[in-house]
Structure 1
Amino acid sequence: MIKSYLITDPLFYTSKTQVFLQKLLHVKHKHQPHYICLRDKQNVEYTALAKAVVEAGIQDTHTKLYLHTDFMLAYELGCDGVHLPSSALNMIEKAKALGLEVIVSTHTLEEINEAEKKGADAITFSPIFETPNKGKPLGLEKLKEINDKIGVKCFALGGIINEEHVKACESVGVYGFASIRFFID
């Protein structure tokens, strides 16, 4: 069964802690994702938000919790791991040294090979389908080609908004799918 990876976005969840938690708990209950990434690049209160998410018990035996970019905070809060952008490949080994799992955003085979060499546990490969402001989609054929060449777990990402997209990704053999909008009511 394909794994599901929910990535939060303040556009849909807000940056207000209580509202964010209510929405996230609802979405977690409804969709039961295997992974959640707390992603809010503009929030000056990100640390407080991350602490509140950890204290709310979002992370459990069914759902792994990842923070975006800040591997030290992920370590301090006892999160399962960190999701790094492709511009932060140099942080993989530091995060791994702390015992964190690492997922890296990638867009090319070269980035994937580098992430894998440095010890990443998984990658997201994107964009697969049409996604606002993300350029031309790479498509399922490219996803399969890449997935067949790599040894690291691959999450398809980008424009996955319905069950049809999920099944299409599953059919090419990827480990999982990651999405923001799939998990929004």
Structure 2
Amino acid sequence: MIKRYLITDPSFYTSNPAKVVQKLLHVKAKYQPDYICLRDKQTSDYTSLAKAVSKASLQDDRTKLYLHTDFKLAHDLGCDGVHLPSNALHVIENAKALGLEVIASTHTLKEIEEAEKRGADAITFSPIFATPNKGEPLGLEKLKEINDRIRVKCFALGGIINADQVKACEAVGVHGFASIRFFLD
């Protein structure tokens, strides 16, 4: 069964800690994601947001909680891991040294090879389908070509908004899919 990776975005979840927690608890109950990443590049107080989410019983035997970028905070709050952007692959070893799992954002084979070499547990490869402001989609053929060449777990990311797209990614053989909009009501 393909793994489900929910990534938050403040345009759908707000940056209000109480509202984010309420929405995530609802989404978790409805969609049962295997991974949740708290991603908010807009808030001026990511720490308070992360503290609220880490205390909210989102993390359990079934669901892993990741913070975006801030591996030290992820460690301090007892999160399972960190999701690093492609421009932060150089800190994978630092996060791993703290005992965190690492998922790295990638868009090219070169970035994937770098993430693998540095010890990432998984990568996202994107964008697979058309996604607002993310450039030309790479498509399912490229996803399969990449997935067949790499050793690290691969999550398809980008424009995955419905069950047919999830099935198409699953048919390629990837470990999972990651999405913001798939998990919205």
Q: Please classify the TM superposition score into its range, dividing by the shorter chain length.
A: over 0.9
Does residue 174 (structure 1) correspond to residue 174 (structure 2)? The answer is yes
Deviation at 1:2? 0.2
Mapping 1:134-149, distance limit 5 Å = 134-149=134-149
1:50 aligns with 50
Identity over aligned residues, as a percent?
A: 77
- Deviation string 1:46-88 (CA, Å, 9 cap, x unpaired) is 1111111111111111000000000000000000000000000
- Deviation string 1:121-142 (CA, Å, 9 cap, x unpaired) is 0000000000000000000000
Mapping 1:80-95, distance limit 5 Å = 80-95=80-95
Quote the Cα distance in structure 1 between the aligned partners of 2:34 and 2:6: 8
Quote the Cα distance in structure 2 between the aligned partners of 1:10 and 1:55: 19
Letter in 2 for 1:18: A
- The alignment partner of 2:89 has SS state of helix
Deviation at 1:42? 1.5
1:112 aligns with 112
Quote the Cα distance in structure 2 between the aligned partners of 1:48 and 1:58: 16
Quote the Cα distance in structure 2 between the aligned partners of 1:88 and 1:17: 26
- The alignment partner of 2:159 has SS state of coil
TM-score, scaled to structure 2: 0.99
- The alignment partner of 2:177 has SS state of strand
- Deviation string 1:9-55 (CA, Å, 9 cap, x unpaired) is 00000001111111111001000000000000111111111111111
Does residue 124 (structure 1) correspond to residue 128 (structure 2)? The answer is no
Q: Runs of 5+ in structure 2 lacking a partner?
A: none
1:12 aligns with 12
Deviation at 1:184? 0.4
- The alignment partner of 1:166 has SS state of helix
- The alignment partner of 1:145 has SS state of helix
1:35 aligns with 35
Letter in 1 for 2:22: Q
Quote the Cα distance in structure 1 between the aligned partners of 2:151 and 2:20: 35
Deviation at 1:166? 0.1
Quote the Cα distance in structure 1 between the aligned partners of 2:51 and 2:22: 15
TM-score, scaled to structure 1: 0.99
Deviation at 1:98? 0.4
Deviates more, 1:16-25 or 1:61-70: 16-25
Quote the Cα distance in structure 2 between the aligned partners of 1:13 and 1:109: 32
Number of residues paired by the alignment?
185
Cα RMSD of the aligned pairs, angstroms, is: 0.4
Runs of 4+ that moved beyond 3 A: none
Q: Runs of 5+ in structure 1 lacking a partner?
A: none
